[in-house]
Amino acid sequence: MGKHRVILGDMPEILLRQILGNSLSLEDVKDVFKFVLQQIGLAKVPLTMNTATIQYFSHLFLMPRDLYMTSLLRNTMQASNACCAFVGTPHFSPMQNYWVPPPHGVNFTQATRIPKRILNETDEMLIEKQAILDVLLDTRAWGQKFITNPFCYIEKDITQIPPADLKHFKKHFYIQLRKYQAFRDQVIKPDAYLPIEELTQKYDRIAESQGPRV
C-alpha cells in the first residue's frame, strides 16, 4: 500500500451476536437451524454449517456487517478526499445499495445500536439462542480468551450476576450447545470440515513470496 494510510475494519463478532440475539426470536433461530440442516442433508457436496447459513440467510447474518462497514466507510470519507476500499464479494452489492454520501445515510450510531430484548424472553431463552448461533456460524464467540463476560447480552456487568445464577447460565449454555451440536453431527458430512489442500498450498505460496518477517 506504499505510504497510504490503511484502515482494517470489520464488525466485532460480539456486537453482531448481541444484535442478532435481540433481533431474532428463539423460534426464528430454531427455524433457521432446522432449515440449514435440511439443506445440508439435501446437498450433493459437503457443506459446513457456516457456509449453508450464510448462503441461505445472508439477509439476516450479513446485513448488520454490511451496515457497519458502510457506516465505517462514511466516517472515513468525512476525513479524506478519496478512499480505495476492498470488501468481500458478498458485501459489495449490499454496501452499494446502502451507500449514501455523508452527511446522510446510515451512521455509526445506528449501525452499532443493539435492539432491546424481545419482550417476555427469559434469560434461558437468550442463552439458548446464543448457543444455536454458535453452532450455525461455526464459532465459539463467547469462549474467546479475551471475553470476560460471556453473558453481556443479559447483564453488562458480570459482577452484578449472582454466583449461583452465573453457574446456572454456564451449565444451561453448555447443555444447549451440546444438544444442537449433536443435531448437527447427525446430518453434517465429516469431510465438510477437512482443509482444502489446494487452498492451503496457495496460502503457503503467498506467505513464501512475502519473504521473511521480523
DSSP 59-111: HHHTHHHHHHHHHHHHHHHHT-S-------HHHHHHHHHH---TTSS--HHHH
Helix (H, G, I), strand (E, B) or coil at 184: helix
Q: 490503511: which residue's cell?
A: 6
Long-range contacts of 85-90 (CB under 8 A, 24+ apart): 90/54, 90/58, 90/62
pLDDT in tens, 171-187: 999 999 999 999 999 99
**Residue 123 above 90 pLDDT?**
yes
What's residue 129's pLDDT?
98
108-117, 136-145, 196-205: which has the minimum mean pLDDT?
A: 196-205
Q: Tell whether the model's pLDDT for residue 102 goes beyond 90.
A: no
- Cβ contacts of 160 within 8 Å, gap of 6 or more: none
Cα–Cα distance measured from residue 166 to residue 184, given in angstroms and rounded to the nearest whole number: 27
Section 10-30 average pLDDT: 95
How far is Cα 64 from Cα 23, in angstroms, rounded to an integer? 11
Would the pLDDT of 203 be above 70? no
The answer, yes or no, to whether residue 191 has pLDDT greater than 90, is: no
Please enumerate in sequence order all residues whose Cβ is within 8 A of that of 83, keeping only pairs 6 or more positions apart, or say none: 73, 76, 77
% residues pLDDT > 90 (the chain): 57
Q: Using 50, 70 and 90 to split pLDDT, how confident is the model at 213?
A: very low
Q: What are phi and psi of 202, to 5 degrees?
A: -60, -45
Span 24-45, mean pLDDT? Answer: 96
pLDDT at 98 over 60: yes
- Give the pTM: 0.83
Q: Is the pLDDT of residue 80 over 50?
A: yes
pLDDT mean over 177-202: 81
- The percentage of the chain sitting over the pLDDT mark of 70, rounded to a whole number, equals 89
d(CA 186, CA 196): 23
- Taking alpha carbons only, the member of 28, 41, 26 closest to residue 183 is 41
Question: What is the rounded average pLDDT of the residues 155-178?
Answer: 96
Is residue 77 very low, low, confident or very high in pLDDT (cuts 50, 70, 90)?
Answer: confident
Radius of gyration over every alpha carbon of the chain, rounded to an integer in angstroms = 20
